[in-house]
Amino acid sequence: MKRTLIEELYLNKGKEVKIQGWIHRLRKLGKIAFIMLRDRTGIVQCVLDCKAIDIKGLKQESVVEVIGLIKDKQGADEEVEIEVRALNVISNVKEDLPIEINKSELECNLDTILNNRVLSLRNIKTNSIFKIQAELAHSFQEFLINEGFTQVFSPKIVAEGTEGGTELFPLQYFEKKAYLAQSPQFYKQMLVGAGYERVFEVAHVYRAEEHNTQRHLNEYVSLDLELGFIEDERDIMALEEKLLKFMLNRVSEKCSKELNLLEAKLPEYVDNIPSLRLEEAVEILKTKYNRTELVNDLDPEGERQICEYAKEYLNSEFLFLTHYPRSKRPMYAMPAEEKLTHSFDLLFRGLEITTGGQRIHNYEQLVESISSKGLNPESFNDYLQVFKYGMPPHGGLAIGLERLTAQLLGIKNIRETCLFPRDRERLTP
Amino acid sequence: MKRTLIEELYLNKGKEVKIQGWIHRLRKLGKIAFIMLRDRTGIVQCVLDCKAIDIKGLKQESVVEVIGLIKDKQGADEEVEIEVRALNVISNVKEDLPIEINKSELECNLDTILNNRVLSLRNIKTNSIFKIQAELAHSFQEFLINEGFTQVFSPKIVAEGTEGGTELFPLQYFEKKAYLAQSPQFYKQMLVGAGYERVFEVAHVYRAEEHNTQRHLNEYVSLDLELGFIEDERDIMALEEKLLKFMLNRVSEKCSKELNLLEAKLPEYVDNIPSLRLEEAVEILKTKYNRTELVNDLDPEGERQICEYAKEYLNSEFLFLTHYPRSKRPMYAMPAEEKLTHSFDLLFRGLEITTGGQRIHNYEQLVESISSKGLNPESFNDYLQVFKYGMPPHGGLAIGLERLTAQLLGIKNIRETCLFPRDRERLTP
């Protein structure tokens, strides 16, 4: 007999089926036992007669196979249950569970949750986070492919850093010293110039940042895109707005069960995301929030406050900040008037989820910009090559997948939106 | 005026349009000049009057913008050309091109091609390779999502190797020693047991192999999948057959232009892929190919020969080899009778492109298998946890994306199917 998934049971009322999964909960009431069986698609109640079927030794979280009849569940409209005819244990639990999985919330601290990651992921709320994350990654790709982008895979083992050599993980590459890539920045620009014009990458990036905060991971998934033949950074911002709208619509469509479970509220709309120049934002924070000490940049508290402001006065949970000063941006950022750049950040519910902007495409200008940052242009020969041979105006952005997931679902610590986080202390599991 | 892509020109005959791209070729005939303009979608001929438009200083591969009228191309059915009204240089070429891009084939050696990667990728044949590769990656994901798989992102910085600790790149992770992941094997199994049941990952893996061959990369993209509730390895093989069929159909549909350009011939069909036990294959090689020295394994020459055999006698360019001995497989391979395993390789046109199989799901059996390989089960505590708490029978496979691309397109050296390869010697660009 072929396996039937739990979400398909309602289509097969009255039939005998085989279902397989984990024992989510087990309860005995006199001669009757109730098993809540869980597979990847849902949970169903299985009712069995303890005289006919031996449930001694059966443990919560064991993997079992149940053959039974699909019946309407008593007292519950539209729900079904299984009248068990046979039950086989496929894989038994050997030890007491170190954490309780089948509660609505995992009632333990984050370290315990992460130390027991495969078990904590069986909690249906925790499990849902990563189904939503997968849909975010998938819809990012779908949207861009439809917009003529090519998916690329750039190396993560690199000879030089992209942002000036700090915060790199060093690596022994045979006889050579190498580093883990901080971002695919150089490669995605090079591939725009290699004729692909529009490229995206979904891959890990690595930051050897020493601080251990709720919003940083040392290894995270970066949703990167880069495109040529743009006017300026506003083309990138317009693209991101369409992209996010598509992604959130898809999540809303495909993950309604998971969103409900997590009581997550998606932004009501993603149209006309408001935009403030960084200096305007700083001015607002000074005036409205008494943040007189802020100069030309926002701290995490400032990001939260300006998002509060945007929600109240601009009616948006998203906010673009633009015109960052050159001193705060990498050497490839396209300069704008008055020591500013054609760059932007996107804040969402109090946190930066994207950095993007137009890049320099003129060779001499780029060499000069590298030097002005105190870096040696010769270290960037491979990167610089494409700028000698015809490079279109271009720009791009990167979205932190774990951050986007966290902000969307109202999760405070980004470690909870990473399957197996790597932070200052954590290297396992 | 909005940009029109070259592939859309034929839809706009008679209209004035703006096109942008690289000067693929430039030719002057008396007072008339012909520019072949290339964008990401194709090449079009632009005709201009040298008296009206100054083309002095215009160089091949410069990025330009052309405004002109779309006309039927003289003497060519269904083709169009552009009668140029205005031409602006967007980004000029600064130096002589180190390689010739606009020939049908790049006439230089592989090192030169790779050293000048962004330029060599502008060659339209070379460029096409990675559009096909992107479609392979995309269709892999599409198929699996439709089959109920969840995309996952597992860490590439790990505390232990998966296959016994050899061929690992060491890494300094703050105060700790770490390694680059050789495969997502442990994580994908753990995630099956975490309740996702069916997971896939598209990500880099790292192998510090010392040898420098045409078919090895030290960093490559692995298309990984793993699924639970299987009977045995035959379920995985059946899934791979459906998967490959889907992928090749998609490539055939979406990349016909690129396939034609590369003169690539897809396998005629991917149904009923034949299967030989390893020992049968060795026997055939002994008898038919006089390979009397082979014992229980194939060398690269043997892989080519058995594929030749399969093509001639089994009418297939694909061939499954099954029943590898335990001594040749990792500790997680599910044992079969007579010191064999429930594992398989898939060969395609003379090369192994997949390794897969059923895995051990019983905790005690797995601990014993780890010990029997001379490894210490305590080093695998994080991995082993899930096997204590209910693990379904499961298995999976990995496809090397660059190898699949190479075999599909008849490319001998796998470096040509990697955008920026990392091998024994190469760490740049």
Average pLDDT of every residue of chain B? 96
Are B382 and A429 a contacting pair at CB < 8 A?
yes
Query: Using the 8-state DSSP alphabet, how is residue A136 labeled?
Result: H
Tell me the residue ranges of DSSP E strands in A149-296.
150-151, 157-158, 170-173, 176-180, 198-206, 219-228, 275-277
Q: CA-CA distance, A40 to A22, in Å (whole number)?
A: 9
CA A10 vs. chain centroid, Å, equals 33
Q: Which residue of A has its CA nearest to B63?
A: A390
Are B118 and A194 a contacting pair at CB < 8 A?
yes
CB distance from B114 to chain A under 8 Å? no
CB distance from A111 to chain B under 8 Å? no
Are A153 and B429 a contacting pair at CB < 8 A?
no
CB distance from B3 to chain A under 8 Å? yes
Angle at B412 between CA B407 and CA B414, to 5 degrees: 80
CB distance from B238 to chain A under 8 Å? no
Which tens digit of pLDDT belongs to each residue from A6-44? Answer: 999 999 999 999 999 999 999 999 999 999 999 999 999
Helices B124-146 and A124-146: angle between axes, nearest 10 degrees? 150
CB distance from B171 to chain A under 8 Å? yes
Using DSSP, state whether B376 is helix, strand or coil: coil
Domain B118-417 classification at class level = alpha beta
Partners of B157 on chain A (C-beta within 8 Å) are: 169, 180, 206, 218-219, 422, 427
Q: Residue B231: what residue type?
A: E
Going by C-alpha positions, the residue among B239, B222, B223, B270 that lies closest to residue B146 is B239
Helices (H) and strands (E) counted in chain B, each on its own, are 11, 18
Question: pLDDT tier at A163 (50, 70, 90 boundaries)?
Answer: low
A179 neighbors A161 (Cβ within 8 angstroms) = yes
Q: CA-CA distance, B428 to B184, in Å (whole number)?
A: 25
Partners of A194 on chain B (C-beta within 8 Å) are: 117-119, 121-122, 127
The region that residue A42 occupies, defined by phi over 0 for left and psi between -120 and 50 for alpha, beta otherwise, is: left
Angle at B199 between CA A24 and CA B230, to 5 degrees: 70
pLDDT attached to residue B426: 96
Are B127 and A195 a contacting pair at CB < 8 A?
yes
Residue A46: half-sphere exposure toward Cβ, Cα within 13 Å? 34
Are A118 and B63 a contacting pair at CB < 8 A?
no
CB distance from B215 to chain A under 8 Å? no
Q: Which residue of A has its CA nearest to B362?
A: A91
Global ipTM: 0.97
Are B151 and A137 a contacting pair at CB < 8 A?
yes
Are A204 and B203 a contacting pair at CB < 8 A?
yes
Residues 40-99 in A contacting B (C-alpha not used; CB under 8 Å) = 40-41, 61-63, 90-95, 97
Q: Residue A151: what residue type?
A: Q
The pair phi, psi for residue B176, each rounded to 5°, is -100, 155
Are A40 and B362 a contacting pair at CB < 8 A?
no
Going by C-alpha positions, the residue among A169, A188, A194 that lies closest to residue A180 is A169
Within 10 Å of residue B213's Cβ, how many Cβ atoms?
12
Question: Considering CB atoms only, which of B94, B190, B219 is closest to A155?
Answer: B219
Are A130 and B229 a contacting pair at CB < 8 A?
no
CB distance from B320 to chain A under 8 Å? no
Alpha-carbon radius of gyration of chain A: 26
Which tens digit of pLDDT belongs to each residue from A264-317? Answer: 999 988 999 999 999 999 999 999 999 999 988 899 999 999 999 999 999 999
Kindly compute the dihedral angle of the four CA atoms of residues B139, B140, B143, B144, in this order, to the nearest 10 degrees. Answer: -150
**Per-residue buried b or exposed e for B64-84, using 16+ beta carbons within 10 Å of the residue's own CB:** bbbebbbeeeeeeeeebbbeb
Give me the total of CB pairs closer than 8 Å, taking one residue from chain A and one from chain B.
Answer: 253
A429 neighbors A115 (Cβ within 8 angstroms) = yes
Residue A377 CA: distances (Å) to CA of A165, A334, A368, B297, B428: 13, 17, 8, 51, 16
Low-confidence ranges of chain B (pLDDT < 50): none
Are B195 and A130 a contacting pair at CB < 8 A?
no
pLDDT attached to residue B165: 63
- A413: distance to nearest CA of chain B, Å? 18
pLDDT attached to residue B61: 98
Question: B207 labelled as ligand-binding?
Answer: yes
Are B219 and A156 a contacting pair at CB < 8 A?
yes
Q: For residue B223, what are its two tokens?
A: 């298309």
Question: Considering CB atoms only, which of A39, A92, A159 is closest to B427?
Answer: A159
Q: CA-CA distance, B364 to B371, in Å (whole number)?
A: 11
Within 10 Å of residue B145's Cβ, how many Cβ atoms?
18
Q: Which of A1, A24, A118, A119 to mutate to test the interface with B (most CBs of B within 10 A)?
A: A118
Q: Which residue of A has its CA nearest to B209?
A: A174
Are A119 and B363 a contacting pair at CB < 8 A?
no
Within 10 Å of residue B343's Cβ, how many Cβ atoms?
29
What are the domain boundaries of chain A?
6-91, 118-417
Q: Where are the alpha helices (DSSP H) in A75-198?
A: 110-115, 117-120, 124-146, 185-191
Sheet containing strand B157-158, strands side by side: A157-158, A176-180, A170-173, B170-173, B176-180, B157-158
Query: Using the 8-state DSSP alphabet, how is residue A333 labeled?
Result: B
Residues 138-167 in A contacting B (C-alpha not used; CB under 8 Å) = 138, 141, 145, 148, 150-159
Residues 361-400 in B contacting A (C-alpha not used; CB under 8 Å) = 361-363, 382-383, 385-386, 388-393
CA B108 vs. chain centroid, Å, equals 23
Going by C-alpha positions, the residue among B12, B90, B41 that lies closest to residue A229 is B90
Which tens digit of pLDDT belongs to each residue from A97-125? Answer: 999 999 999 999 999 999 999 999 999 99
The pair phi, psi for residue A402, each rounded to 5°, is -65, -35
Residue A77 clears pLDDT 90, i.e. is over it: no
Q: Which residue has the tokens 């050159």?
A: A326
Residue B163 CA: distances (Å) to CA of A307, B184, B202, B225, B328: 48, 11, 20, 17, 11
CB distance from B357 to chain A under 8 Å? no
Q: CA-CA distance, B202 to B137, in Å (whole number)?
A: 8
pLDDT attached to residue B162: 64
Question: Considering CB atoms only, which of A3, A94, A119 is closest to B363?
Answer: A94
pLDDT attached to residue B163: 63
Which tens digit of pLDDT belongs to each residue from B131-163? Answer: 999 999 999 999 999 999 999 999 999 998 766
Partners of B5 on chain A (C-beta within 8 Å) are: 148
Domain B6-91 classification at class level = mainly beta
Partners of B121 on chain A (C-beta within 8 Å) are: 191, 194-196
The rounded percent of chain A whose pLDDT value lies above 70 is: 99
Q: CA-CA distance, A58 to A64, in Å (whole number)?
A: 9
B329 neighbors B357 (Cβ within 8 angstroms) = yes
CB distance from A38 to chain B under 8 Å? yes
Residue A306 CA: distances (Å) to CA of A241, B58, B66, B284: 19, 49, 44, 73
Using DSSP, state whether A352 is helix, strand or coil: strand
**Strand pairing class (B275-277; B318-322):** parallel
Partners of A148 on chain B (C-beta within 8 Å) are: 5, 40-41
pLDDT attached to residue A110: 97
